[in-house]
Structure 1
């Protein structure tokens, strides 16, 4: 009986740790804002997906945050300064642009253009 206790304890520990997800220290896109003001609103939140609409007037950004896997659509584009794991770059984001990520990612953005940008972010649950 003593021989079974050690493998059983080890098995229970393995199951426990395999079910633990690393704690995310960054805010998600809804929680993150700019200068303590929200930039995203929930359009839909159900058992299968969450859809956010995020709006960035000129000079407004989105503090450093993470994204779960998602699909995005640019309703209204502008020019952005984006900082992520690859560094900082400035890019034009045209209206109608789509983007997606299959893994958890992070970034911080700032609208450096002269028009308000609006995005839809669709996250699967």
Structure 2
């Protein structure tokens, strides 16, 4: 269902968080990937962002917090991300972020795999 929403909103497919970067450079790296899940570590120095991308269902955990400017279909707003904070999301059709603070923000994204996708990784 989320992929249908994404396709309807954006004729060009958006990258996922690993594929999306900032000014041609990656911001996320794979820490672990298997048939059950993928774990990404995303690092944003001050002034570094994440180009427009989508998220499948995931869990996020802030290893190092800071101030991020988030733009999505609801507009643009700033978010204070506290170290150790966490969240769960059913997915995001699109958003983009920029570190507008003076600390490096680092967070983990844990994406569970669907049964269909997991079967393809065996």
What is the TM-score of this pair, normalised by structure 1? 0.80
Matches within 5 A, 1:1-125: 22=4, 25-125=13-113
Show structure 1 runs of 5+ residues with no match. Answer: 1-20
What is the TM-score of this pair, normalised by structure 2? 0.82
Indicate the RMSD between aligned Cα atoms, in angstroms.
1.4
C-alpha deviation, 1:104, in angstroms: 4.1
Aligned length: 105
Q: 1:77-111: per-residue Cα shift (whole Å, max 9, x none)?
A: 01010001111001111101101111343210000
Deviating beyond 2 angstroms after TM superposition, the runs of 4 or more aligned structure 1 residues are 21-24
Mapped partners of 1:84, 1:68: distance in 2: 15
Q: Secondary structure at the match of 1:96?
A: coil
Q: Relative to structure 2, which stretch is displaced further, 72-81 or 22-31?
A: 22-31
Task: From the CA coordinates, give the structure whose radius of gyration is larger.
Answer: 1
